[in-house]
Chains A and B, each alone.
Chain A
Amino acid sequence: MAKASMAKAGERRGQSRRNFLKGSILSATGALGAAKMAAAVASSTEAPIRLPEAFPAALNAPPKPAEFPMRGSQVFAKVCKNEGLSALFCCPGNYDVINSICDEGIPCFGGRTEGAMCAAADGFIRVSGEIAACSGTEGPGFTNMIMNIAAANAARTPLLVLASNKRVSEDDSEMGIQTAYQQPTTEGMRKYGKRLIDPNRVYEYAAYAFRQLRTGVPRPVHLDFPAEVYGAKFKDSSELRYYYEKSRYRTEARPYPDPKRIRELAAMIDKAQRPIIVASTGVFYSQAWDAVKLVAEKADVAVVESGVARGQFSDAHRLSASPAPGALLSADLVIFVGQYSMPNVGEYHFGPDARYVRIDPDASDIGRNMPIELGIVSCEKAAMEALHEAVGSKRRDAWADELAAERKKFEDENAEYYKTGLGYKDAVHPAVIAQQLSDFLYRGDIAKEQTTVVAGGYGIARYTRRYLRAYRPGQICNGAYQYGAIGPDCGYAFGVSAAVQLGAGAQAAYRGTPIIGITGDAGFAYSGMELETMSKYKMPVVMIVYNNNAWGIQGSGRAAHMYLFQENLRYDKIAEALGARGEYVTRPEEFLPALKRSYQIAAKERVSTVINCQAKREFWQRAQYPPGFLGKVEPGCMAYDH
């Protein structure tokens, strides 16, 4: 994957919105004129969808890192580069900042809506573990991102949110357009936010941002750039009030656990008959997966996953409880590791006699919602490494046998649902999609670890999550997660695909492989335009759209019309119109061939496909179409809320 960069970024620096729009309009007029001329020559021939020549030229242009004298935006971009910002996802606007980041050689991607690009950055981070940014223009571009900033916040994603902002000198004047007080908008959905107002502190606040992003429990960081800041000129570093190398403004040190408490935990594990580790979001971000495995194997501790991404502990492991929901009730000691979004009593399946231990970098959160017997303040990886040293070796064969039996029971139940689903011939039942997708990804010609999946959608996810498996870190991006947003899925898919194409972080070994995205017809409406972005950047994405002609929740009586769409809409044709492929699947037997074709074309030709799976809303009616809308068990492969 070539690193993306914006065309002639340097030339656009300092460009006003008016000039930018003027240029765009002139180009569009020219294109329209050319289109009219072409139509006159061959009235029956449609003009093909194609990339402008400037696009690949820009993508392949070498970086142009800034040197002093620099502008404020360049100083900021320099910090981003030094901090290893992995990617930027944006729509035009905040021009100086995005162009400067692009010039530094950081991979940049331009999409169709700021909201979807924000989700793309979130998805990128959630499967790679690396930090990425999103950006929008002041006012509308920024506010378009709000839903997905909130989703990233609930997911505890270290997302850098950037936006331009009016001149400080124009405050309260409503001069021009796009006036907005942006910082208050993200209050409650970020870890740190700042509207930069003092130009010579731009470096200092960039340091603030990365200190917040790279330490403790992550959440989004939101920075606004008024013109006085991004446009300020600095002859050299002496004109910046604060200018240090990163080891001076933040530390790589991690909180280490109290040895006494680790010994206490080791003793609790020794006494327990059926201990279980809940490996959650913090295990992924601290890269504690190897240490978790060592602890589990040494003391025969089961492991179940929760959180924003899956694969910290392989579903194929004999101690995995992720696809064994029936085993959770048996656990007598539950060790939450990096469970940032805590469930309440009843939301997790564990029984009333289970004892709880929580390991978290943030002491102020330990004890929230769920009662604990022991709290350990620590980086997850450090705690797991210390526990591995302290815990005694032990075999718990009965517990391992129970896990195996419950995994089998779960698979048998899934197989039964599949058999039932296959019996519905006039539409595609979700169990058919889920089982055949699972067989294709994990039991066919593709290595089971290979494909990264965005497990989105609402009703369809109640099925697909039961059948999807994770065998390595970052293999599944768990949809919108706790915020429950419907709609970011195509955005996530774009960002996840970008991470895989770049081989970022946890995706390094799978660089260049296709990804699968799953969404519903309701969700597709919010971010489906990003099929154009996928096509433009040649992202190999197979997007499965579960089309049941309705929102996930169905209304009744006089209100029903508000919940219904027109039937048999063709999302595959939308994809085709945006430069991607479309597959239209209306019967169960058509799904697998369509999936195989799409995956192959994605792998060989780097073309995205939408597989429009025509279902029916009545599939959620249990009496009419058993098993109907399914419930879920958390934690484990079905986990979504926490």
Chain B
Amino acid sequence: MTTKQLRRTPAGNDPLAVISRQLASYAERGVFRSFSRIPAAKQAGTQTGAADRAEFRFSWLWNLPFHLAFDRRKNAITFPQLFPNINAGSELEAELKAFIRKLSSRDRPEHRRLDPQRITVRYSKRGNSGSLAFLVAGNHYEYAVKKALNSVHEIFVGFLNLRHGEYMRENLRVPEET
């Protein structure tokens, strides 16, 4: 499904429609490029039914490919395998987890904080890859998409790029010097 088709998605409060519209708005503004919804047949192996799950691909920060999934049953927006090659127990992983925890800290300005009444974030690990899941409380889907994207942006730009440039270069091919 293309951005154009997504725009035709009927308006409504259906979580998937809200999330699709919200993501499409970033593509329309040029924040995302090459934005598409992955057809159900091609979605990553899952037992969840097609109606309960949607996956999206887009190019975003440094033109890197991003993959976002929404699972209706879990009410979760997930960035699967967002962090490749993270060694368990490494300093990077420990710092990353600490950074993620602080996203909800009351030390942060309100507009930069995750409101735990509306969204919580979880880091998980499968193999050598780390994933992020944003669990939506109630029907705060619009808020959740916005906060999830802002959080991922901050993790990449304000944490990994600032403190772990080598990781970014080696694992995500972010350009530095050739």
Binding site for B on A (CB under 8 A): 273-274, 326, 329-330, 344-347, 349, 351-353, 355, 370-371, 373, 402, 484, 553, 623, 629-633
Contact = CB atoms under 8 A, between A and B. Distances in A.
Contact of B162 (A371, A484, A633): A633
A402 B112 CA distance: 11
Contacts of B61: 345-346
A352 B26 CA distance: 8
A344 B30 contact: no
B153 A352 contact: yes
Contacts of B8: none
A352 B30 contact: no
Q: Is the interface of A mostly helix, strand, loop or mixed?
A: loop
A329 B112 contact: yes
Q: Which 7 A-B pairs have the closest CB atoms?
A: A371-B30, A346-B61, A631-B162, A346-B62, A631-B165, A352-B149, A352-B31
B34 interface: no
A629 to B, nearest CB: 7
Contact of A370 (B30, B161, B162): B30
B60 interface: yes
B27 to A, nearest CB: 10
Contacts, number: 65
**Most chain B beta-carbon neighbours within 10 Å: one of A352, A371, A632:** A352
B157 A349 contact: yes
Interface in B98-145: 109, 111-112
A631 B161 CA distance: 6
Contacts of A402: 109
B163 interface: yes
Contacts of A351: 150, 153-154
Q: Is the interface of B mostly helix, strand, loop or mixed?
A: helix
Contacts of A553: 177
B91 interface: yes
B28 to A, nearest CB: 9
B158 interface: yes
B99 to A, nearest CB: 13
Contact of A330 (B91, B109, B146): B109
A330 B111 CA distance: 7
Interface string B26-67: 100111010000000000000000000000000011111000
Contacts of B154: 329, 351
B60 A345 contact: yes
Contacts of A330: 109, 111-112
Interface of B: 26, 29-31, 33, 60-64, 91, 109, 111-112, 146, 149-150, 153-154, 156-158, 161-166, 177
Contacts of B60: 345-346, 352
A38 to B, nearest CB: 49
A402 B111 CA distance: 11
B95 to A, nearest CB: 11
A347 B162 CA distance: 11
Contacts of B109: 330, 402
Nearest to A370: B30
B177 A353 contact: no
Nearest to A402: B109
A632 B30 CA distance: 24
A349 B165 CA distance: 15
A599 B132 CA distance: 52
26 contacts: A329-B150, A329-B153, A329-B158, A330-B109, A330-B112, A344-B62, A344-B63, A345-B30, A345-B31, A345-B33, A345-B60, A345-B61, A346-B157, A349-B157, A352-B153, A353-B146, A353-B149, A370-B30, A371-B30, A629-B165, A629-B166, A630-B162, A631-B162, A631-B164, A631-B165, A633-B162
Nearest to A401: B109
A100 B125 CA distance: 71
B108 to A, nearest CB: 10
Nearest to B27: A371
Nearest to A638: B162
A632 B165 CA distance: 9
Given A346-B62, A370-B30, 6 more contacts: A273-B111, A330-B109, A345-B63, A353-B150, A484-B177, A553-B177
Nearest to B30: A371
A553 B31 CA distance: 32
B19 to A, nearest CB: 15
Contacts of A353: 146, 149-150
A127 to B, nearest CB: 26
A130 B8 CA distance: 54
Contacts of B164: 631
Nearest to A627: B163
Contacts of A347: 62
Nearest to A274: B111
Nearest to A346: B61
Contact of B29 (A371, A484, A632): A371
A399 to B, nearest CB: 10
Contact of A349 (B26, B149, B158): B158
Contacts of B29: 355, 371, 373
Given A353-B146, A402-B109, A632 B62 contact: no
Contacts of B63: 344-346
